[in-house]
Chains A and B, each alone.
Chain A
């Protein structure tokens, strides 16, 4: 089943015509409405009228996370707030989050691309969809929610956590589709085993997993343990949220909704386009968004594009599972974490110096982040209570900035390596 056959099976020529038209409209929109973008374009000698189609895309300047931070919160919006019907936020590189705004039309477009994604994954209107992605500022929960409703399937808006209840509802409500992070899916499988739940008694058929990287090995593991087909979905809040791309039932790359999100692959060092089929950094230009359109946004995800027609019949370009990142961002339990955020928290506290080490482990199925911080002379207290209070205060401040709980461990001074060059701040022990 294909949600929108006309677009999803369009010829390359038809698609390029659509993309060119939409790109020009978007460039005009941001040039006239966003001073920051107009300035960026004029700095490279461009006006909105110099862009005639997708062949001019490479002339446009890139957008990076700090552009959103520098224009926090609404500086990159092209419409007044009265037209913004939704705000979402995700992690920035320091204390401030990245804010995105959606007009009514943007919300409808988002629902459309998620409906396409669910349909290509094999979900249909008679399915009962358990959405265990977090609901809130995070785009995961609400993104899947609106897309599921849009196609007429039944939503269980359970959000994350409370695994025993998740399983009970799965049994009682007859959920046929599960949407959550892949590591949470494995966690659910583990708890099912503890509860002696037989997957043969469940109606689960498909899983839509994303928000963090996961390997083919993990996919096979989830499919075996839950008795489902495990589909990879991709997205990022800056572009829209989940639904930027998704695998079809053949699981051979994620189809990008390129009539809304124009993809490129660049060399992260030189910023030049890579040759077709080569691995490089994924860049997106949103060509239909009204609230916060972004031009050549660098995702920092590394992958390659496949332009051949897929076995499923769709011509939408596919991207392979991301192979890594061109920056130091970590994804822990589906949440983006930057070492620089940790540093900014420590710098704001006079009791500690920013000599730290982040250690990430996966214990069983869930990610755990530990932070080693050196005890500084002047704040070393003779009382256990005071040291404990300091430890708890650091953990609380981190939780409030990062959005996840961190196990803070105080260590002796000078035990964290000092290096002349860039300090190694992260030890990631996970084998994904």
Chain B
């Protein structure tokens, strides 16, 4: 249930994002999801890729500061109120969300989230019959 997400430090310089995608592309690594968190000084690029360990290595070889973070991915129906239901469950169980990013694909949506308490989050979501995406499946998307 734990997804290995890449986090990459990027200075606010033009071309950095491009360079990351070039490196991954030329190494045959596919990106399933991504999000950029930015401040005025720098950004953190968060990626779900087809081969996180290898991606980490090739990026580090190219002088990027990379870390792997454990996140979870919730799959919920692509309809109004679906996300709200999941977030309510977390809130009731006093689980905070550091960040999340999501995308819809047809009937369902994938929500990648970083909770402050990973194990508890997984436990609670499973207890409520929420579907958690397996890492191997997510990397393939």
A217 beta carbon closer than 8 Å to chain B = no
CB distance from B86 to the nearest CB of A (A): 22
Contact with A along B45-68 (1 / 0, CB 8 A): 010000000000000100111110
Choice from A377, A384, A388, A391 contacting B65 with Cβ under 8 Å: A377
Given contacts A411-B11, A412-B10, A412-B11, contact A383 B63 (CB under 8 A): no
Given contacts A382-B7, A384-B37, A387-B42, contact A412 B67 (CB under 8 A): no
Given contacts A382-B44, A387-B42, contact A414 B98 (CB under 8 A): no
CB distance from B64 to the nearest CB of A (A): 7
What A residues does B16 contact at CB under 8 A?
Answer: 412
What A residues does B114 contact at CB under 8 A?
Answer: 382
CA–CA, A174 to B28, complex, Å?
75
Given contacts A375-B9, A412-B10, contact A380 B66 (CB under 8 A): yes
- A384 and B10 form a contact (CB under 8 A): no
CA–CA, A375 to B69, complex, Å?
17
B39 beta carbon closer than 8 Å to chain A = yes
Given contacts A383-B98, A411-B11, A412-B9, contact A388 B69 (CB under 8 A): no
- B65 and A376 form a contact (CB under 8 A): yes
CA–CA, A387 to B7, complex, Å?
12
What B residues does A411 contact at CB under 8 A?
Answer: 11
- B46 and A382 form a contact (CB under 8 A): yes
- B69 and A413 form a contact (CB under 8 A): no
Interface majority SS (helix, strand, loop, mixed), chain A: loop
Interface residues in A369-410 (C-beta closer than 8 Å to B): 375-377, 380-384, 387-388, 391, 409-410
- Name the residue of chain B whose CB is nearest to the CB of A381: B67
- A380 and B67 form a contact (CB under 8 A): yes
Choice from A381, A384, A414, A415 contacting B39 with Cβ under 8 Å: A384
- Name the residue of chain A whose CB is nearest to the CB of B114: A382
CA–CA, A410 to B42, complex, Å?
8
B92 beta carbon closer than 8 Å to chain A = no
CA–CA, A72 to B31, complex, Å?
59
- Name the residue of chain B whose CB is nearest to the CB of A412: B11
Choice from A381, A383, A412 contacting B64 with Cβ under 8 Å: A412
What A residues does B42 contact at CB under 8 A?
Answer: 387, 410
B137 beta carbon closer than 8 Å to chain A = no
Choice from B5, B39, B60, B65 contacting A375 with Cβ under 8 Å: B65
Contact with A along B105-116 (1 / 0, CB 8 A): 000000000100
Interface residues in B25-46 (C-beta closer than 8 Å to A): 37, 39, 41-42, 44, 46
- Name the residue of chain A whose CB is nearest to the CB of B7: A382
CB distance from A412 to the nearest CB of B (A): 5
What A residues does B66 contact at CB under 8 A?
Answer: 377, 380
- B39 and A380 form a contact (CB under 8 A): no
What A residues does B64 contact at CB under 8 A?
Answer: 412-413
- Name the residue of chain A whose CB is nearest to the CB of B60: A377
- Name the residue of chain A whose CB is nearest to the CB of B46: A382
Contact with A along B65-100 (1 / 0, CB 8 A): 111010000000000000000000000000000100
What A residues does B46 contact at CB under 8 A?
Answer: 382
CA–CA, A383 to B44, complex, Å?
8
CB distance from B131 to the nearest CB of A (A): 24
Show 5 residue pairs from A and B whose CB-CB distance is below 8 angstroms, ordered by the A residue: A382-B44, A382-B69, A410-B11, A410-B41, A412-B64
Top 10 nearest A-B pairs by Cβ distance? A382-B7, A382-B69, A380-B65, A414-B63, A375-B65, A375-B9, A380-B67, A413-B65, A412-B11, A384-B37
